[in-house]
Amino acid sequence: MTVTATSNIDILAIGAHPDDVEVGAGGLMAKFNKLGLKTAIIDLSAGELATNGTPEIRGQEALQAAQVLGLSWRKCLNLPDRGLKTSRLTIDKLVQIIRESRPRLILCPYWEDRHPDHVQAARLVEESWFDAGLTKIQAQIKPYRPPQLWHYFLSRAGEPKFIVDVSDYYEIKREAILTHRSQFGRQASSQETFLNCGPGSMLAIVESRDRFLGSSIGYSYGEGFTTRTPLAIDNPLGLMGVPR
């Protein structure tokens, strides 16, 4: 059962809006869940400035998507849509959640994107990840900095440092995305946007990209990720099974 309370997890994915994680890393989140890892999502804003939907509707859709992905919990921080800032207050909110939930990995948007909120989300998460390890910030909570921080792609894709095969979990990703009906569905009251209309819609672009990434590693679907710094490999034998 998905709850909104914070508890210890393995993977914490953070997005600027309620559907960002599903679009950029929904397949990976589903795969982690099937592997027995505990996963959670933080939506920084309620996406209240979206052309379609309301914060209430989008919140309900987000919780339904959480059930599809098998999350342990999902929280919305209700920061302002198109007003994300790296202020001390917002950083402290994320620092507290990171320290309380102690994830092994944090996922967040790529630092280059057409949507300014995605760029700001990357900056906010990076600063919060760093500050979570500083002893003198929120000294009443034991410092903890997750060992891994990966960036997923949304509107703009850079060169991935690695691609994860999500072929067996792609239907779950698609279902989770389509759960956000106010954004990706076509209802009588919906206005046409790039998210829900035409062969160049966001969903079509995402599926085309994921097919391409998958084909580049010999699978049907893949999700690409990058990092600011190289990934350290302690056991090189673990790479021997990676196909080229």
Domain ranges, ordered by start, for the chain: 11-229
CA atoms within 13 A on the CB side of 169: 22
Q: What is the pLDDT of residue 85?
A: 92
Whether 186 shows a pLDDT value over 50: the answer reads yes
Question: Mean pLDDT lowest for which of 40-49, 94-103, 149-158, 186-195?
Answer: 186-195
- Predicted confidence band of residue 1 (pLDDT cuts 50, 70, 90): very low
Q: Are strands 222-226 and 162-165 parallel, antiparallel or unpaired?
A: antiparallel
For the chain, what is the mean pLDDT?
A: 92
Q: Over range 138-159, report the average pLDDT.
A: 93
Mean pLDDT of 202-219: 92
- Map residue 74 onto helix, strand or coil: strand
Q: Which is more confident, 6 or 93?
A: 93
Tokens at residue 53, please? 């939907």
Tens digits of residue pLDDT in 71-129: 999 999 999 999 999 999 999 999 999 999 999 999 999 999 999 999 999 999 999 99
Residue 185 has pLDDT above 90, yes or no: no
* Homologous superfamily (CATH) for 11-229: LmbE-like (3.40.50.10320)
Q: How far apart are CA 31 and CA 166, in angstroms?
A: 7
**27: alpha, beta or left? (left if phi > 0; alpha if psi -120 to 50):** alpha
Report the distance separating Cα 23 and Cα 155, nearest Å: 9
| Residue 158 near residue 119 (C-beta atoms within 8 A) | no
What φ, ψ does residue 118 adopt, rounded to 5°? -65, -40
| Pairwise CA distance, residues 27 & 13, whole Å | 12
Alpha-carbon distance 47 to 92, whole Å? 21
Could you give the CA distance from residue 136 to residue 147 in angstroms, rounded to a whole number?
19
